[in-house]
Structure 1
Amino acid sequence: MWQTITEFINHGPIRAELVQSVLMIIGILLVRGVILQAHFRRHPLLEIEDKRRWVVVTRNVTLIVVIFGLLAIWAAQIQTLALSMFAVAAAIVLATKELIMCLSGSVLRATTKQYSVGDYIEVGGLRGRVVDINLLNTLMMQLGPNPLVGQLSGKTVSFPNSLLLGQSVQRDNVLGMFVIHTFEIPVPIALDSDAIVPGLQMLVDKLCAPYVDDITLYLERVQTQKLFITPAAQPRITRVPHDDKVYNIVVRFAAPVPKRLEIQQAVLDEFIRIQYRLLNANR
């Protein structure tokens, strides 16, 4: 009976490659499901970002394995078809140029580890927190709308992975649980910076004081393990000339990722209060 079934598959209307393809896909999906369930049961307290990262990674790995499996199963038929349709294949390559570039960008991201799910990135003028990655595009929750407001806007924005081939990627949380955060405050040229900077420096020092020692030790470990040149953990405020109307105050500090926006907003609030007092001092 088994011989009869084999002959039917090999010579009948259902080809062996088709059956093998279906069985392979079902098997790979079952293995992925078992791996995910086993990992989640073994780590019941896993954060939602880590769970999401596992789902995204296993999905992309599954897709890659399926593609390579199908290519291996249908290799003979694909080779025969390719030899007889070389001109058509060339036309398809030209027509799918963007698709190929997206796949190339995805390979570049994976090999260089530019970012992953949960990272804060900026690429091509788009800023947000990455929530999903596939072979063609990246989806993130948008930050903004003002560059100084790092809160999630509630909107999603996606970009093709081909953008990674021609645009630089800025990643905020490259140091893991901590971040070196920098922002600029434009100040009217008529306001004396000596009346502004000391108050801001005192405030940012106070806000960052609980974290400076831990961040310093963490940066030293990162520098030793990954051979990174890490910046100092102490907050710094510098003054930069801009034009004849304004100058910029540059605030730089180190903090845990969840605290950076809170500290930034506190510094901005203090600046607005100082600016108000200075502008109304002579009235």
Structure 2
Amino acid sequence: MWDTILHYIQNGPVKLEIIESILMIAGILLLRTILLQAHFRSHPTMPIEEKRRWAVMGRNVTLILVIFGLTIIWAAQIHTLALSMFAVAAAVVLATKELIMCLSGSVLRATTKQYSVGDYIEVNGLRGRVVDINLFNTLMMQIGPNTQVGQLSGKAVSFPNSLLLSHSVQRDNVMGSYIIHTFDIPVPIHLDSDQIVPPLQQLLEKRCAPFVPAIEKHLEAVQTQKLFITPAAQPRITRVPHDDKVYNIVVRFASPLQLRLDIQQTVLDEYIRIQYRLLNPSA
């Protein structure tokens, strides 16, 4: 059998293309390995998220180069095959519609820089931290199930990149290492907001005070560099009517990305204590 295969490669109509394809793929894989290892050795203190981002980018670039190289090498055979399959072209397009949409969504993400590995995003109700991206889907560690908590659930969830064509993408860390975080607290309508908001505001300002000057400078730099309209860094609590049973207290503050959940939990804990005292005045 091996003699037959070797004879076909040596004397068949596509022997040169096979050899060129093997050498091209091996060369690209070797080059990717050398470049990544050299980059990692030159940056020994690189965080694991940054290494993951470089590895994912290297894999995707390698796949694109391999596809592009194979297309060039096999151009003549592809052209001949295309002519013979012209009658079924429409059926092929319909059969690969979802695949084409995934590729289009991947191109859209790359060109608009919607998100990358390590970002916190939400798409079509799916919320999590991105850990892997390829040409067809995105993998992230799920946040939930309670959106008010915002912690990683330990589950992985993936979605096809075609969702990027029909749904908006919410990205938490668009401001870099800092974030403007907002959450709602539903309050029974009979509880006096004047007894709830002032202590929460005082606590929130105390927690955020160490970060406000640095965040203000950072937001000014972001506004200058990216031409973003950046929000204020000062914490704020707003009262919003909802219905005849509850009203909402909207809490908004700026903080380092890794501390936003701690500050949110501190405010929620204080609200629960205040609510208990208001509902049990004799306790």
TM-score tier, shorter chain, comes to over 0.9
The reply to whether residue 74 of structure 1 matches residue 74 of structure 2 is: yes
**Equivalence for 1:44:** 44
User: Which residue number corresponds to residue 184 of structure 1?
Assistant: 184
Paired AA for residue 60 in structure 2: N
Note if contact 2:132-2:138 (Cα within 8 Å) is conserved in structure 1.
yes
Which residue of the partner structure matches residue 131 of structure 1?
131
State the partner residue of 1:199: 199
Q: Cα offset for 1:84?
A: 1.3
Q: Deviations over 1:171-213 (max 9, x none)?
A: 0000010000000000000001110000100011000011000
How many angstroms does 1:90 deviate by?
2.0
1:17-43 Cα offsets, whole Å, 9 max, x none, are 111011100000000000100000000
Do structure 1's residue 235 and structure 2's residue 239 form an aligned pair?
A: no
Instruction: Kindly state the Cα deviation for residue 10 of structure 1 after the two structures are TM-superposed.
Output: 6.7
Q: Distance in 2 between matches of 1:19 and 1:149?
A: 56
Q: Distance in 2 between matches of 1:88 and 1:22?
A: 30
2 CA distance for matches of 1:9 and 1:205? 74
Match for 2:273: what amino acid? R
Partners of 1:169 and 1:274 lie apart in 2 by: 36
- For 1:71 and 1:51, locate their aligned partners in 2 and report how far apart those are by CA, in whole Å: 30
1:100-119 superposed matches below 5 A: 100-119=100-119
SS at match of 2:210: helix
Alpha-carbon distance in 1 for matches of 2:157, 2:247: 33
Could you list the per-position Cα deviations for residues 131-172 of structure 1 after superposition, in whole angstroms to 9, with x for gaps in the alignment?
A: 000000000000011010111000000000000000000000
Question: Structure 1 CA distance, aligned partners of 2:224 and 2:171?
Answer: 21
Match of 1:168 in 2: 168
Residues 139 and 158 of structure 2 are in contact (CA less than 8 Å); yes or no, is this contact kept in structure 1? yes
- Structure 1 residue matching 2:252: 3-state secondary structure: strand
In the alignment, the residues of structure 2 paired with residue 84 and residue 14 of structure 1 have an alpha-carbon distance, to the nearest angstrom, of 18
Q: State the Cα deviation string for residues 91-133 of structure 1 (Å, max 9, x = none).
A: 1111111111000000000000000000000000000000000
Shift of 1:87: 2.0
The aligned amino acid for 2:74 is W
Between the aligned partners of 2:178 and 2:138, the Cα distance in structure 1 is 24
How many angstroms apart in 2 are the aligned matches of 1:181 and 1:68? 43
If the length of structure 1 is used for normalisation, what is the TM-score?
Answer: 0.95
Is 1:245 equivalent to 2:239 in the alignment?
Answer: no
3-state secondary structure, aligned to 2:229: coil
Structure 1 letter corresponding to 2:223:
Q
Alignment deviations for residues 207-242 of structure 1 (CA, whole Å, 9 cap, x no partner): 001100000000001111111100000000001000
Following the alignment from structure 1 to structure 2, what is the Cα–Cα distance between the partners of residues 87 and 210?
68
| 2:55 maps to amino acid | V
The equivalent of 1:5 in structure 2 is none
Amino acid at match of 1:96: T
What is aligned with 1:254?
A: 254
Distance 1:220 1:259 in 2: 21
For the 8 Å contact 2:105–2:162, the answer to whether it is kept is yes
- For 2:26, give the aligned amino acid: I
Q: Is residue 83 from structure 1 mapped to residue 92 from structure 2 by the alignment? A: no
Unaligned 5+ residue runs, structure 1?
1-7
Corresponding letter in the other structure for 1:229: I
Aligned identity (percent) is 76
